[in-house]
Chain A
Amino acid sequence: MLFRHATGLGLRVFCLSLLMIGLMIADKHYRYVNNVREVLSVFLIPLQYTLNAPVQAIDWLKVSAATQQELTAENVHLKQQLLLMQVKLQQLINMQQENSELRALLKSSTRINGQFQEAKILAMNLDPALAEVVLDKGTKDGVAEQQVVIDVAGVMGQIISTTPFTSRLLLISDPRSGVPVQDDRSALQAIVVGMGANNPLSLIYVSETADIKVGDLLVTSSLGARYPEGYPVGHVTHIAKVSGEPFMNITVEPSALLERSRRVLIVSNYLDDDSKRMLYETNPAAQPKASLVQGAPS
């Protein structure tokens, strides 16, 4: 009675431990483990939507409890904003025309704007060390891996896995994320990496003689052929030279509201032909399978 567990328990734990360690190693090195992940995540979809329900209920209450006065005021404000945006858009269209003509003169490949799709972040308390969130759009809506997600202020991150009804977004603040950027002022190229959720980002491999200042805006560069060109990533907030190190410690404050955004945009089909060829040669799995709704001014 006392030692009923003694026989076999240790052995079973040992075998299962080996299996789990093997799974971890396989997950780190081979893509096919993603199939296991996808099957399991389909079962978790109801849980994810249930968790989001209280937040949705609060949102609904806010709208229903708002007075007519408040709604009218908001409506007026939104109309003013729309007018302002339309005026700005007129200038933008003109400039875009000019830009593509200039690019044609330079015989450079034309930029593609991409297609936009709105998505919402499902509210859920995930491991804060891994800066990942779950979006409420999946392959059913044409979302695919490696599509880029932005919010009103800047780049949020990249889609890393999908199910029919949800997709996972790796935020740029995750330690596993790296974004190729360029300094908007000096065109200096570098890479922004994450330092964990709620922490600022870090700019790596910048030598001490490089032309960079506090306050510089960093935008995505087209190197790497993953991120669309020219979207803001963050501002440089702090530069420190470390004696004996070839590179500087540079802190970057993200432009996007990584922890607070609820509504985001998924961008797809933004690559020009050259970048596409480059990307698909290195990774044939990146080819998009479904088309998205056209939403961008082109």
Chain B
Amino acid sequence: MTFKLFLIVFLSFLIASLLQFLPVPDALNAWVPQWIALVVIYWALVLDERFSLILPCFIGLCMDVMNGAMLGLHALALLWLSFIVLKNARQLRRAGRLQQMVEIGLLMLGYQFIVFAIQRLTGQRLDDWTYFIASASSAIIWPWVSIILDDGCQRFAGLKEE
């Protein structure tokens, strides 16, 4: 990783975590997209084989500490999410906007389900299906996330040409 690349990855995660944890009114709470997971997907798609699996683990551990969840919970979910994305990166990149949104929505559903299932099994969460609304809002916001990050990459580091 060059320094520029490291910097832009760091900045994107910083902004994503600010958006993720920004206080919102209770009614909107369930609609907050999974910003951090979206950014993980984006970097897995763009960096492909240069994407290190340590990254989703570290980001996930920070999310666990922030949320007060079991250590390793979000790390595991993000790890599996990026595994699926890396496996299907070629197909995902070629998909049209709408198809990409649907696929991202399904990936998010899987990611959220891992977190939900583990927390449910260890008795840290009770049934609350509104939790999965975030998958839909993440899918809707995905095109904008990818456009903004693409733009940022090109301006900042010219990464897309490599």
Determine the chain B residues whose CB is within 8 A of the CB of A43 once the complex forms: 62
Determine the chain B residues whose CB is within 8 A of the CB of A17 once the complex forms: 76, 79-80
Q: Is the CB of A28 within 8 A of B70?
A: yes
A254-298 interface bits toward B, Cβ cutoff 8 Å, 1 = contact, 0 = none: 000001000000000000000000000000000000000000000
Binds B, one of A96-104, A120-128, A145-153: A120-128
> From residue B121, how far is it (CB to closest CB) to chain A in Å?
11
Residues 1-27 (chain A) with a chain B CB within 8 angstroms: 2, 4-5, 9-10, 12-13, 16-17, 19-24, 26-27
Q: Is the CB of B72 within 8 A of A124?
A: no
> From residue B16, how far is it (CB to closest CB) to chain A in Å?
11
Q: Is the CB of A28 within 8 A of B72?
A: no
Given the complex of chains A and B, what is the CA–CA distance between A13 and B125 in angstroms? 26
Given the complex of chains A and B, what is the CA–CA distance between A33 and B64 in angstroms? 13
Q: Is the CB of A23 within 8 A of B71?
A: yes
Given the complex of chains A and B, what is the CA–CA distance between A198 and B131 in angstroms? 14
Given known pairs A23-B72, A27-B71, A125-B24, the reply for A16 and B79 (CB within 8 Å) is: yes
Q: Does B153 count as interface, using CB distance less than 8 angstroms?
A: no
Residues 49-105 (chain B) with a chain A CB within 8 angstroms: 49, 53-54, 57, 60-62, 65-73, 75-76, 79-80, 83, 86-87, 90
Given the complex of chains A and B, what is the CA–CA distance between A129 and B122 in angstroms? 13
Q: Does B161 count as interface, using CB distance less than 8 angstroms?
A: no
Residues of B in contact with A (beta carbons under 8 Å apart) = 14, 17-18, 20-24, 26, 29, 32, 48-49, 53-54, 57, 60-62, 65-73, 75-76, 79-80, 83, 86-87, 90, 118-119, 122-126, 128, 131
Which 7 A-B residue pairings sit nearest by Cβ, starting from the closest? A23-B72, A20-B72, A20-B76, A123-B23, A132-B68, A24-B72, A129-B125
